[in-house]
Structure formats: C-alpha cells, structure tokens
Structure 1
Amino acid sequence: MIKFFRKIRYNLMETGKTSSPAEASAKAGKYFKYAIGEIILVVIGILIALSINNWNEKQIEKKQIRNIYARIVKDFNNSVVEIDSGIEDMNSNIPIMFQLMREEMDRDSLLTNMDYFLKYFNSTSGFPDIQIHDKGVRMLETKIGLNYEFSTEYSEALILLYSEFLYEIEIDRYDLINVYIVLRDYQTHKGVRPIRLVTNGIPRSVDMMLEDDIYKNHLLHYVSSYRGYMSRLESFKAQGAVLIDQIITEYNLE
C-alpha cells in the first residue's frame, strides 16, 4: 500500500514538471492528499503493531497468573497433607492423656503406650511440625503489587485468608510450645529428664504421670492448647478448601 502511494506521488511530481501553473497547483493538492493518506497508513500500522504487542504481553501475564494460582493450589494441598497427618498422629494419643488426667489408666496400660511420650515429649516442641506452605500466595502478592489490575475477589480472599490464619496459627503454635516447655521443665524438676526417659527413666516417669497431680494439671493445659492449635488448623483447611475449589474452577486448573 505504501509503495502504491509512493508511485502515485512520483507520477505527480513527474507530471508537474511539464504542467501549467494552474494544473501544477491542482496536482499539488492531490499530492498533498496522498501524502496525508500515506501518513495515516503509517500511523495505523504503528497502532496495530502496538495493539498486537500489548495483546501478547497480556497473554503472557495471564499465563503467569494462572501458573501462580496453580502453585497456590499445590501449596494448599501440601499443607493439608501435613495438617491431616499431624492431627491424625496427635489425636490418636489425646485419649491417653485424658485417661491419665481422669486416673483411668493403670501402670501396665501406660507402659504399653509409652511410645507416644518417648516420641513427642522427648522432642523440642512436643507435637508434630506442621508447615503451612505459602510461597504461591506471596508470589501473588508481589504480582499484584506490580500490577493492581490482577487483583480479583479470589486474590483478595486468598491473601486475607493466609494473612489472618498464619498469624493466628503462629500465635497458637507459640502458646503450645510455651505450655509444653512448662510441662517439660516440670518433668526435669522432678528428675525425669528426656535423655533418661529414653534409657532408664521410664519407671520413674510412669510414677509421675500416674500419681503427680501437678503434672496432670500441666498436661491438661498442654491438651487444651493443643486442641486450640489443631482447631485453628482445621478452620484454615476448611475455609481454604472452599476458596481453592473456586479457583480451580475459575482458572481450569484440573
């Protein structure tokens, strides 16, 4: 098209060399119109190129957002696996603690269930280490910070869910750790040290668990804190599952 206009312009210029002044003026007007047309074509071409480039960039960004949501779904599912495993592991031993506190467990039964106390009460925290994976959500926050147009009801709900629950879960976790430390320190005070519990301290620890009311009170606080911690994790899992299902449907991630 541009070559076509250039050819017309060339012909007009050549014709203008042998024309009268009046004819030359008329042809100059035509030349001006064709020149304007050529400029318009160039501008249109530039606008089309920019539009195509913008469209390509948006497609790339949409793909990036979809990948981020896919990562969020993966992170959430991994977190659920850890939560379920930890809760199942700990809940299987809660009845043992209640039987101890209600004095419904005899010495032989306690010795049979000592594996639990050896497993957790010899650890640094007293309960399974459960990790909430949030890298995908942090990636989403960064992306929205760079371009707010990617903020949607799903992104806002996700960021709010993780921000609130991770803060509360961490508070509950530290509370549980502190309660456990008190329980462990009391064991140490009574001469039942973790290292000895594994070797030759089992009979002494059994006596303390069965007969020491102060120990049972500490155990009650531990169970109460643990149940609060687990309840918070369950709430996070339940609310997150609803949101994750919506995201899977919206972004066709299945």
Structure 2
Amino acid sequence: MIKFFRKIRQKLLSENKLKRYLVYAFGEIILVVIGILIALQINNWNEQRKEHQKIAKIYERLILDIENDINDLAVRIEGYKANEHLYRKVMNDSVSTDLLDEGLSRIVANIPFSSKLRNTGIAQLKQANLSDPFIQTMISRYGDLDERKTNYETRIEALSQELIKHIRDEYPWYTEWISKKIMKDNSSPELQAFFVNSMEYRNFVTHSYNLIYNNYIRIIEDTIDFLHKTRVELKRELNPQFVILDEKKLLDFAGSYEMVEIDCPIVPDLEVGMKLPVEINSNTLKFKDERFDISMYLYHELGDTFYEPRFINAFFYFERDNNDSIVGLKIQTKSSEERCNIELQKIN
C-alpha cells in the first residue's frame, strides 16, 4: 500500500502537476489522521471495556459481601429478639426461678460478636477511585453505619464485662455461675436471689435493653435496609433488566411446602413429609426450616428463580400450574461436589 502511494506521488511530481500533488498530499494526510483517530478510538473502547469489566467484578464481589452481611445481621436480630421476653419480664418485675432455665442469668453477660461489615468489595471500590455520586454516597453511608454498629457493640460488650466484674468482685457464687449452665434446679439460693429478685440485676438488664433494643437493633435494621437497596442498585448497574419483586408480588411464593422427594446426601437428616414455611421479609423470601431452626433469605434472580448465597450456592425454583398459581418448589445446588436436589409441593 505504501509503495502504491509512493508511485502516485512520483508520477505527479514527474508530470509537474504541483496543484494536484498538493491536493493528493493533503488527502493522504487526512487519511493518516483518520486512521490515527480510529486507532485511538478503538484503543479507548478497549480501555473502557476493560474498565467496565473491572468495575463489574468489583460490583459482583460487593454484592456477595452484602448478601452475606444481610444474612449475618438478620441472624443476630433473631437471636436478640428471642431473648426480648426475658428482658421485659425483668423490667416488669415478673421474674420467677423458672426463667433461669431459659437463660435469665446470661442475657446481659452474653457478649455480642463484634465485627465489621465485610470490606473486600468496598475496599476495591475505594481503590478504583470512581467519581460517580452514587458510589461516593454508598462508600460514605457504608462507613457511617458500620461505625455506629461497632460503637454500640463496644458499649454492649463493656456493660457485659462490667456485670461479670461486679459479680466476680462481690459475690462468692461467681465460680458457680461462670462454670456451668445455670438452671433452676442446679443453682444456689444466693445466686437465684441475685438474678430473680435484686434491683442490681434489674438495673443492668434495663441498661442493656436500652442499648440493644432501643438503639443497636434499630441500627442493624437500618443497615440491612441500606444493604438491600444498595444490592438492588448494584444489580441494576450490572443488568439494566434486573427487577426486584415487591412485597405484594412475593406473596405468591409465600406459604407452607412439604418435601416429596429428596436426593441430598450433604443433609442426611431430611425426611419426606417435612414441612418448610416460606415467609415474606422486606424484598426477600425468608425460608425457615422448623426442624433445624435454620433461616435463609432468598434473593430474586429471574422469573420464578431465587437463590441463597450462604446455603452452598442453592437455587430455589418455584413451579406454577396452568392457572399461573405456585404449586411446588425445587431446591438445587450448583456444585457437583455438594449436590442436593429436593422437591416440595405447596400445601397452603
């Protein structure tokens, strides 16, 4: 090609056609410039594609972190709410020794597991140094909620340690209390009197209740709500067609299901006839195993398919009849090493 253009230039010069030569030379320069611009544009497209792929991977990692955080925080709320009735009985002065069997002596001393929100995805996002307002707001909100959550975990832990120190320094039955699970029938009268009748313990419980139920749980609920919304936005960034089902649409999937077929060696205790309720929780379905007391939050994936990231990458496929009503559910895992297939029928 270069040889071809050189011959044209030499011919024009030899024929003394200067004007035509200048026009031709200018055209050749334009072609070179256009070629350079095209090459630059292609390079820009390639760089943008690589950048989009990099950001997409960060979003996918962040979504995984969010889903695991939501599950962990939801389990924590459930644990505290299971003990709320004990707190209320103490504060209402309606305690009996029977409540020792339910863990009355431990409700303040149970130190919460303090942990930061998973930060792998958010750290990668910070390193990407993106100027998008949504990203900047998300990073800031992430930090604020995590700091508030950690602050109350620290305060709850400090109160727990204060109670433990107080009992250790003031009461001879400390060793008895710390060394075994306290029940009504295995504990001394002096120990029982402290947890059942003393104003000291009631004050500790009241303070703990205020920290946990009036503050900490609300922060966790705010954090879960923020994580849900952030996950939806990230999903939409990855797939503009992504649609989150609202609570009204999710009602179709809720109900009680009965196992009719099981091929699940990784969970050997499952039995045909076992009933599993599926409930609504925010923009997810809550799948609660009554026998094993396991809760999972199912995220909408596509159509009638949901998935739960912590349960061995399990997918939940809801089945419809000719009238478009939900009649069944299939649970499958995607890993061949952790294979599991369960079929259920909806019974109400």
Per the normalisation by structure 2, the TM-score is: 0.60
State the Cα distance separating 1:131 from its structure 2 match.
Answer: 4.2
State the Cα distance separating 1:117 from its structure 2 match.
Answer: 4.7
Match of 1:250 among 215, 221, 237: 237
Equivalent positions of 1:47-196 (< 5 A) are: 47-107=37-97, 109-114=98-103, 117=105, 121=109, 126-144=111-129, 147-148=130-131, 151-152=132-133, 154-191=134-171, 192-193=173-174, 196=177
Question: Taking structure 1 as reference, are residues 235 and 82 closer, same or farther at Cα in structure 2, changes over 3 Å only?
Answer: same
Per the normalisation by structure 1, the TM-score is: 0.80
1:37 corresponds to which letter in structure 2?
G
State the Cα distance separating 1:76 from its structure 2 match.
Answer: 1.2
CA contact (8 A) 1:161 1:240 kept: no
Question: Taking structure 1 as reference, are residues 32 and 87 closer, same or farther at Cα in structure 2, changes over 3 Å only?
Answer: same
Mapped partners of 2:127, 2:86: distance in 1: 46
Equivalent positions of 1:4-19 (< 5 A) are: 4-13=4-13, 16=14
Question: Taking structure 1 as reference, are residues 209 and 119 closer, same or farther at Cα in structure 2, changes over 3 Å only?
Answer: closer
Which piece of structure 1 moves more, 193-202 or 71-80? 193-202
Q: Which residue of 1 aligns with 2:225?
A: 238
Mapped partners of 2:81, 2:201: distance in 1: 20
2:69 corresponds to which letter in structure 1?
S
Q: Which residue of 2 aligns with 1:19?
A: none
Q: Give the gaps of 5 or more residues in structure 2.
A: 243-300, 302-348
Q: Give the structure with the higher percent helix.
A: 1
Q: Which residue of 2 aligns with 1:212?
A: 198
User: Which structure 1 residue ranges, 4+ long, deviate > 6 Å from structure 2?
Assistant: none
SS, match of residue 29 in structure 1:
helix
Tell me which of the two structures has the higher relative contact order, counting C-alpha pairs closer than 8 angstroms and 6 or more residues apart.
1
Which piece of structure 1 moves more, 174-183 or 244-253? 244-253
Question: Taking structure 1 as reference, are residues 217 and 120 closer, same or farther at Cα in structure 2, changes over 3 Å only?
Answer: closer
CA contact (8 A) 1:66 1:251 kept: yes
1:112 corresponds to which letter in structure 2?
D
SS, match of residue 80 in structure 2:
helix
Aligned length: 234
Question: Taking structure 1 as reference, are residues 250 and 128 closer, same or farther at Cα in structure 2, changes over 3 Å only?
Answer: same
Mapped partners of 2:181, 2:119: distance in 1: 43
Q: Give the gaps of 5 or more residues in structure 1.
A: 17-22
State the Cα distance separating 1:164 from its structure 2 match.
Answer: 1.8
Whichever of the two has the greater Rg, that structure is 1
State the Cα distance separating 1:234 from its structure 2 match.
Answer: 0.6
Mapped partners of 1:118, 1:57: distance in 2: 58
Q: Give the structure with the higher percent strand.
A: 2
1:155 corresponds to which letter in structure 2?
I
Which piece of structure 1 moves more, 45-54 or 168-177? 168-177
CA contact (8 A) 1:83 1:233 kept: yes
1:90 corresponds to which letter in structure 2?
Y
Q: In the TM superposition, what whole-angstrom CA distance separates every residue of 1:111-145 from its partner, at most 9, and x where no partner exists? A: 3123x756983x6xx2244542233223222212x
Which piece of structure 1 moves more, 200-209 or 165-174? 200-209
CA contact (8 A) 2:91 2:206 kept: yes
Question: Taking structure 1 as reference, are residues 205 and 64 closer, same or farther at Cα in structure 2, changes over 3 Å only?
Answer: farther
Question: Taking structure 1 as reference, are residues 208 and 106 closer, same or farther at Cα in structure 2, changes over 3 Å only?
Answer: same
Q: Which residue of 1 aligns with 2:179?
A: 198
Mapped partners of 1:50, 1:134: distance in 2: 37
Mapped partners of 1:233, 1:132: distance in 2: 11
